[in-house]
């Protein structure tokens, strides 16, 4: 059974930082493309950052965010700096079983339950 469990969200003031963590099980983590998505109320889910199995960050929507992974720990991270109120959203980690990384949410098969990030001005 595949499980993705996010943590690290919370409430911060603008300019602050958070580090999100996604612990995985049930997949051969080192073989999988991993991604962070976010969804704000009333908006579509969007990709935030994507990292391939070789730990190359192949997409980042925000220069303030850094995606990384620890294959030994089966864990994905998202370091978010200089947070803005518009970063407020539910953040999800996700993965899919394709060889090449995809970008669209519809291509991702496995999702975590999400962790809420709220940034106040």
3-state secondary structure of 78: strand
* Cβ–Cβ < 8 Å for 15, 82: yes
Identify the segments of the chain with pLDDT beneath 70: none
Extended strands (E) in the chain: 3-7, 10-13, 18-25, 33-39, 46-51, 57-60, 65-70, 75-80, 89-96, 110-111, 115-120
Partnered with residue 68 across adjacent β-strands are: 77
3-state secondary structure of 13: strand
pLDDT for position 97: 83
* Cβ–Cβ < 8 Å for 95, 32: yes
Instruction: Say if strands 115-120 and 10-13 run parallel, antiparallel, or are unpaired.
Output: parallel
Instruction: Say if strands 110-111 and 18-25 run parallel, antiparallel, or are unpaired.
Output: unpaired
3-state secondary structure of 106: helix
Q: CA 17 to CA 52: how far, in whole Å?
A: 24
* Cβ–Cβ < 8 Å for 112, 6: yes
């Amino acid at each position: 059974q595949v499980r993705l469990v996010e943590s690290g969200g919370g409430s911060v003031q603008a300019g602050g930082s958070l580090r999100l963590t996604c612990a995985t099980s049930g997949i051969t983590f080192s073989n999988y493309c991993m991604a962070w998505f976010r969804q704000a109320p009333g908006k579509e889910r969007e990709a935030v950052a994507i990292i391939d199995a070789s730990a190359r960050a192949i997409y980042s929507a925000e220069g303030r965010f850094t995606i990384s992974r620890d294959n030994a720990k089966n864990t994905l991270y998202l370091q978010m700096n200089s947070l803005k109120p518009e970063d407020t959203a539910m953040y999800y980690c996700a993965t899919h079983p394709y060889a090449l990384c995809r970008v669209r949410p519809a291509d991702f098969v496995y999702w975590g339950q999400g962790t809420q990030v709220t940034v106040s001005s």
